[in-house]
A and B are shown apart, each in its own frame.
Chain A
Amino acid sequence: MRRLHVAAGLAGLLAMALLLGGCAAEGVGVAAGYDEDYWGGPTVDYDMDFDEPFGFGYGYGYGGFDYGYGGWGPGYFVGPPAWGYGAPVEVGGGLQRPYRPAPPSRPLPSIPVGPRGPGTRGLPR
């Protein structure tokens, strides 16, 4: 009978040891720029239950596909600039802008087009 009691106690110790070990093993490396000061402890849920502030407005209903999205006609571009576009764009002087435009001497940059180095994630190109 005493063996049973001891076994139960050891099982409890083992369970606690495993839990503590599991907590320690959860850690991952941290990027140099990461700001740990705001770490507030583990989060037990994933709250993404927000509403669109002004409605959604795609003009459709779930499952209904009643799209009123509008056509993207000729000249309506949303994609990145072409690779090696290079030249700055002349939009016209005297325009009042709420933003600070890049200097006219600055060429329009490309998206990242460099090769994937060893050790980087994902598929090789």
Chain B
Amino acid sequence: MTIRTSWVLAVLGLAAGVAAAATAAFEVPPLMQPPVATQHPGKLIWAELMTPDIAAAKRFYGGLFGWTFQDIHAGTAEYSVARLAGAPIAGLVQRPTRAGRQPQPRWLTFLSVPSVHAAAKLILAHGGRQLVAPRAYRQRGQQGVYADPQGAVFAVLNSRSGDPPDVLAAPGEWIWSALLARDPAGDAAFYQDVFGFEVFELPRSGRGAHLVLASEQYARASVNPLPQEDDVRPHWIDFVRVTNVADTAAAVSALGGRVVVGPHPDRHGSRVALLADPAGALIGVLEWSAPGGAGEAK
């Protein structure tokens, strides 16, 4: 090795290191490790919190659900992966407030699709809007963010490592989603066209139709009329299973959040509640009791 060759190699190595550091890819972990072969179109498989205060969110959700967090920094992104028993359960995204813009802390629902690009075509063809164009992440897969025709925001994800299995959610895991829509029947038609859901009808309330979206023989989400007409926009709410809704609600205030709709029984016979985290993002909690005591709410 000549002296010139030695120094050329040294410089190349140094340059490669600098370049790699500067362009470090944003790596979010795979949903499943080891990967599985199955995907469940239409299922809630991931959720992300858009928040202006990621530290407060970690305290809140860690205290409420026992989630732990793994921070990821790359580019301008500040992101934290929430985990339950080591498995990724959600993402927290720091989204700073900007002058003249209303902050929008919120949970974003990710529904499984077999192809993001095919889903995007259907979404746009049926009156939806694209908010974030499809992008690919090396480990997670491909995703895009959209709004349905009534303005409710959701994301689609084609998980590169497959989808979480269809088993009863453990406490601390996502168990259910509810879409609150101005026109539930119209929105149900949109999601049926995009995701191929079966639509089941429940007894109507005075405000309109109550519907259940199902895929692969499982109920995936409900579609409901908005609780009031004047102020609330259509949106998705994701529910985490807890063992006792009242106990969870009682812990919210000390963690910096607020109970928006107090614990009360829902159609499945157990209690639900609607909470707001310290920044105001809404999240539902839900008890679930199965026959024979499996997953019995305590």
Contact = CB atoms under 8 A, between A and B. Distances in A.
Nearest to A55: B233
Q: Which residue of B1, B151, B167 has the most chain A CB atoms within 10 A of its CB atom?
A: B167
A82 B37 CA distance: 30
12 contacts: A15-B17, A26-B138, A28-B160, A42-B25, A43-B25, A44-B25, A45-B26, A45-B74, A48-B50, A49-B95, A65-B280, A121-B86
B33 interface: yes
A45 B245 CA distance: 37
A121 to B, nearest CB: 4
Interface string B231-270: 1110001010000000000000000001011001011111
Interface in A33-74: 33-35, 38-63, 65, 67-72
A29 B159 CA distance: 11
Q: Interface residues of A: mostly helix, strand, loop or mixed? A: loop
A28 B23 contact: no
Nearest to B162: A31
A112 B294 CA distance: 12
Interface string B85-111: 111010001010100011111101000
B158 interface: yes
Contact of B264 (A39, A50, A72, A109): A72
Contact of B39 (A31, A47, A120): A31
A21 B167 CA distance: 37
B168 A56 contact: no
Interface string B200-240: 11111111011110100111101010111011110001010
B240 to A, nearest CB: 13
Nearest to A8: B10
Contacts of A98: 185-186, 188-189
Contact of A9 (B10, B36, B166, B280): B10
Contacts of B282: 58
A76 B185 contact: no
Interface of B: 1, 3, 5-14, 16-17, 20, 23-28, 30, 32-39, 48, 50, 52, 74-77, 79, 84-87, 89, 93, 95, 97, 101-106, 108, 114-117, 129, 131-132, 134-139, 141-142, 145, 147, 151, 153, 158-173, 175-176, 178, 180, 185-186, 188-189, 192, 198-207, 209-212, 214, 217-220, 222, 224, 226-228, 230-233, 237, 239, 258, 260-261, 264, 266-270, 272, 274, 276, 279-280, 282, 284, 286, 288-291, 294-295
A78 B170 CA distance: 20
A123 B172 contact: yes
A47 B160 CA distance: 19
A79 interface: yes
Given A71-B261, A79-B272, A114 B132 contact: no
A35 B151 CA distance: 28
Contact of B291 (A32, A58, A84, A123): A84
B233 A120 contact: no
A70 B139 CA distance: 40
B159 A125 contact: no
Contacts of A109: 198, 200, 212, 214, 217-219
A12 to B, nearest CB: 3
A29 B161 contact: yes
Given A52-B151, A65-B280, A113-B294, A5 B3 contact: yes
Given A47-B132, A56-B102, A31 B168 contact: no
Contact of A43 (B136, B164, B286): B136
Nearest to A30: B160
A46 B105 contact: no
B168 A115 contact: yes
A35 to B, nearest CB: 5
A42 B81 CA distance: 19
